A and B are shown apart, each in its own frame.
Chain A
């Protein structure tokens, strides 16, 4: 399968714990996006990378959130000191360029208890 993959698919954690998600984009896609989606809502933009450079971050991305794409391939999204409000689906997408279609991964469902 050459699509966007995300790991894990589901994560249950206790409030206050740290979690890290991984996204593997389609190879040769230089742009990678992170979104958050809560039930009944559309995805909300969090941040995006062009190659290894993080070019923009949403104000939704508080200090507890950090994303990296160290070699311009896979990316990680870490949430520190999780809160119940962080419970959501975290989606990753990649594209070959600025105006090209974004291909989404299956998402990581986070539940904070």
Chain B
């Protein structure tokens, strides 16, 4: 069964600090991995997408890494802002057929002033 595990489940940091969120997956064969940001009560918004051949992708203060051999990804947030408070969801799609994505449970990030 395809699974996506995220850690930590929740994280509290001070404004201006950096943090790293982790994602491990068992989805195979692998197609792509996305990180989404979901504000409370809203739909997820895509931050990055990576395919098998990519190991780093940046979007402003967000940098995602992918190690397809170990099936691990991380999302690094630099110089956190209060608006970064949200749930961050890792999503992995299976190659072939319908490419149905498997979602992780998310990491809840709270940034305090």
Given A42-B103, A42-B105, check contact A102 B98 (CB 8 Å): no
Range of interface residues on chain B? 20 to 34
Q: Give Cα A45–Cα B91 distance, bound, in whole angstroms.
A: 11
Q: Do B42 and A107 touch across chains, with their CB atoms under 8 A apart?
A: yes
Q: Do B104 and A106 touch across chains, with their CB atoms under 8 A apart?
A: no
Which residues of chain A (17-62) have a CB below 8 Å from chain B? 35, 40-45, 48, 55-56
Q: Give Cα A4–Cα B42 distance, bound, in whole angstroms.
A: 12
Which residues of chain A (55-113) have a CB below 8 Å from chain B? 55-56, 91, 93, 98-99, 101-107, 109
Q: What distance in Å separates the Cβ of A77 from its nearest Cβ neighbour in chain B?
A: 15
Q: Do A44 and B103 touch across chains, with their CB atoms under 8 A apart?
A: yes
- Number of A residues contacting the other chain (C-beta, 8 Å)? 23
Chain B residue at smallest Cβ distance from A101: B46
Q: Do B49 and A101 touch across chains, with their CB atoms under 8 A apart?
A: yes
B residues less than 8 Å from A98 (CB atoms): 99
Q: Do B98 and A55 touch across chains, with their CB atoms under 8 A apart?
A: yes
Q: Do B43 and A105 touch across chains, with their CB atoms under 8 A apart?
A: yes
Given A93-B43, A101-B49, A107-B43, check contact A40 B105 (CB 8 Å): yes
21 intermolecular pairs with C-beta atoms under 8 Å apart: A4-B43, A35-B103, A41-B105, A42-B103, A42-B105, A43-B44, A43-B103, A45-B103, A48-B98, A91-B44, A99-B32, A99-B93, A99-B99, A101-B34, A101-B46, A101-B49, A102-B101, A104-B45, A105-B43, A106-B43, A107-B41
Q: Which 7 A-B pairs have the closest CB atoms?
A: A104-B43, A42-B103, A56-B98, A42-B105, A101-B46, A104-B44, A43-B103
B residues neighboring A (CB under 8 Å): 4, 31-32, 34, 41-46, 49, 89, 91, 93, 98-101, 103-106
Beyond A43-B103, A99-B32, A102-B101, list 20 extra A-B contacts (CB 8 Å).
A4-B43, A40-B105, A41-B105, A42-B4, A42-B91, A42-B103, A45-B100, A48-B98, A56-B98, A56-B100, A91-B43, A98-B99, A99-B93, A99-B99, A101-B34, A101-B46, A102-B46, A103-B46, A104-B44, A107-B41
